[in-house]
Structure 1
Amino acid sequence: MAVLLVTGSPSVADTVVPLCAAVGVEVEVCPEPALSLSHWTGADLVLVGDDVADLVVALAPPRRQGVHVVGLSPGDEVFRAAVALGAASVLDLPGASDWLVDMLADVGERSSPGRVVGVVGGAGGAGSTTLACALAQWHAGRASTLLVDCDALGPGLDRLLGMEDLPGVRWEALAETSGRLGARALREGVPGREHLGVLTWSGLRRRLDVPTARRILPTAVGGHDLVVLDLPRQGGPVLAELADRCDDLLVVTPATVPGLAATARLVADLGRDGRAGLVLRPGGLSDADAERVTGLPLVATVGDQRGLAASVDRGLGPLAGRGPLARAARDLLAAA
């Protein structure tokens, strides 16, 4: 069962049932609270009407996630029942209908969050954005993937992948909205092809702020198998916030004295634990030198790829055919 609605109120049922039908989820209306116990733990989402909330509390159902109390102008006493049930919210209908629709749209989504891989350049021009695109392209051939452009001053990841003309929501629209955004709504709303979506910036650029990042990233992770973050080197609090949320952080740098020196400063500022690894680009210094200077373990080396610029100019993205990027993306995600 997708949704269990426990209510004896025709008004509540007549409000909730059409919303479930609109998003295509199955709903079972149970007017007798005692009969709801057999379905209580098996439903993806449980909605308890304010008319029977106290009766449900008296039955002492097991605590679980995904319980909400719904009603038409519910009174203050309903909140005590909601707390006793461990409900996540009390929804005042029909005013909260949009919120409920977003919640219903996520019914049946993944029960465990996807993986978050962050990519940041240890030095300017290291190729971190190219690697982020390659990781996303490689994984999108296997499962749902979202590539997130966290650098408002970058080239625009949709442009690098030939998606700049595709319709869809960009960061500017998300920054101007508030409230809950469903995982499915985000996945289907961003520009994308097949299993690859891109959350990036339009021409009206602004810097990403921490509250927006905190609100959107959990939704992105809830709707995708993999989320790749292209992180800004000069991100300040946003960089620290997003880096802390990564399961794996890849720091890309050329094997040169200036590159490794800049990378060492970045790593010191981030203060990462064992989840960070070094991706080395061509240069004159050795792998051992790179690990010693940065304090990070080497997880991959990526050589120059022939025809990279032409591939991007043709709208194919950096991962066209075989080459160093494809091998690095495969190995890095296999090890993640």
Structure 2
Amino acid sequence: MPVLLVTRSSALHDAVVPLCAAAGVGAQVCDEPALVLTAWTDADLVLVGADLAGEVADLAPLRRLGVHVVGLPPGDAAFRSAVALGAMSVIDLAESTDWLVGALTDVGEPASPGRIVGVVGGAGGAGTTTLACALAQWHAPRGPTLLVDADPLGPGLDRLLGMEDVAGVRWEGLVETSGRLGARALRESVPRDDHLGVLTWSGLRRRLDLPTARRILPVAVRGHDLVVLDLARQSGSTLAELADRCDELLVVTPATVPGVAATARLVAELGLDGRAGLVVRPGGLSDADAHRLTGLPVVAAVADQRGLAASVDRGLGPLTPRGPLARAARDLLSEAA
């Protein structure tokens, strides 16, 4: 029973219940405060009508998240009752239908969002996209995962994973949408293989629309345990903003003099802080050299993986059960958690 509506008001009933039905969300309407306590803690969302808010407050139900006092309008007394209930807000549904629609779209989603891990190449050809795919593939059996292609000039993450023919919305479709998108709707609409979803482009001409990314990323992280961003090194201010939205940022660099030098310039340009770590690929420099020149801690060293190109060409993605990418993904995500 996702939504509990406590009211005797037919107007409130008619304002809430049809929207629940339209959102595909079950609702229980209770007009007797004495019966509220049996369902109080089970509902994902509790809407207490202003007409009964005082009586419900007198019962002193357990404090919990997701309680709102609603009315048409609620009236001044509703605010005192809301304080007694520990309600999160007092809502005038006559002016806040969009708020209710938005609240219903997220019913059933976890209260605590997942996390965003960004992957960016310190130098060209560092293997950023390969690592991003491996992280997402490793985590997908453990929880809902979204792999986001933020590199318009990349190969297309769906192609690396053999999902280019899987139906679902791409970036172009999201640019054309308006209104509030729910976490569940996004999770179910992108191309998906079991627990792994991919958000990428459908055509050859690509451009990352930053306002759309700003709108989509908070929704994505509410609906997934892990969101992996494959970031484009060349995107300037766009890269800086997307990197700032990440909980952890992995900078991939080959352990070569040109590679580490380019990585150091990127690190200085972005002003990276303690959320960033260095993933080192094979080369002649040591981990200590890479740390000294970039200022970032080395969080993983990933060796070359045999059969990688063949695995990707077959649409299986880069991850193999016991390869170096699998070990790196396990260690990186465990440490980040």
When normalised by structure 2's length, the TM-score is: 0.84
The Cα offsets for residues 7-40 of structure 1, whole Å up to 9 and x where unpaired, read as 3332442453244345554422234678768866
Q: Distance in 1 between matches of 2:91 and 2:146?
A: 29
Are the equivalent residues in 1 in contact too, given 2:4–2:47 (CA < 8 A)?
Answer: yes
What percentage of aligned pairs have identical amino acids? 73
Are the equivalent residues in 1 in contact too, given 2:255–2:286 (CA < 8 A)?
Answer: yes
Are the equivalent residues in 1 in contact too, given 2:15–2:93 (CA < 8 A)?
Answer: no
- Paired position in structure 1 for 2:328: 328
Letter in 2 for 1:171: W
Gap change, CA 1:330 and 1:5, over 3 Å in 2: same
Deviation at 1:64, TM superposition (A): 6.3
Letter in 2 for 1:309: A
Q: Distance in 1 between matches of 2:329 and 2:53?
A: 54
- Paired position in structure 2 for 1:207: 208
Gap change, CA 1:295 and 1:127, over 3 Å in 2: same
Deviation at 1:128, TM superposition (A): 0.5
Q: Distance in 1 between matches of 2:308 and 2:187?
A: 28
Letter in 1 for 2:89: A
Q: Distance in 1 between matches of 2:64 and 2:143?
A: 29
- Paired position in structure 1 for 2:111: 111
Matches within 5 A, 1:180-191: 180-191=180-191
Q: Distance in 1 between matches of 2:33 and 2:174?
A: 39
- Paired position in structure 1 for 2:171: 171
Q: Distance in 2 between matches of 1:62 and 1:239?
A: 45
Q: Distance in 2 between matches of 1:155 and 1:77?
A: 57
Unaligned stretches of 5+ residues in structure 2: none
Matches within 5 A, 1:92-131: 92=94, 96=97, 100-101=100-101, 103-131=103-131
- Paired position in structure 2 for 1:87: 89
Q: Distance in 2 between matches of 1:138 and 1:88?
A: 43
- Paired position in structure 2 for 1:219: 219
The Cα offsets for residues 245-277 of structure 1, whole Å up to 9 and x where unpaired, read as 222111001011111111011111222221211
Deviation at 1:243, TM superposition (A): 1.6
Are the equivalent residues in 1 in contact too, given 2:53–2:69 (CA < 8 A)?
Answer: no
- Paired position in structure 1 for 2:247: 247
When normalised by structure 1's length, the TM-score is: 0.85
Q: Distance in 2 between matches of 1:282 and 1:205?
A: 31
Gap change, CA 1:131 and 1:22, over 3 Å in 2: same
Gap change, CA 1:253 and 1:103, over 3 Å in 2: same
Are the equivalent residues in 2 in contact too, given 1:253–1:263 (CA < 8 A)?
Answer: yes
Gap change, CA 1:279 and 1:56, over 3 Å in 2: farther
The Cα offsets for residues 265-307 of structure 1, whole Å up to 9 and x where unpaired, read as 1111222221211101111111111111111111111111122
- Paired position in structure 1 for 2:195: 195
Q: Aligned residue pairs: how many?
A: 330
What RMSD over aligned residues (CA atoms) do the two structures have, in Å? Answer: 3.2
SS at match of 2:142: coil
Q: Distance in 1 between matches of 2:334 and 2:216?
A: 26
- Paired position in structure 2 for 1:317: 317
Deviation at 1:200, TM superposition (A): 1.1
Letter in 1 for 2:242: L
- Paired position in structure 1 for 2:132: 132
Q: Distance in 2 between matches of 1:15 and 1:76?
A: 13
Do structure 1's residue 6 and structure 2's residue 12 form an aligned pair?
Answer: no
Structure 1 residues 236-245 or 295-304, which shifts more? 236-245
Structure 1 residues 39-48 or 150-159, which shifts more? 39-48
- Paired position in structure 2 for 1:301: 301
Q: Distance in 2 between matches of 1:198 and 1:321?
A: 21
Gap change, CA 1:330 and 1:46, over 3 Å in 2: same
Unaligned stretches of 5+ residues in structure 1: none
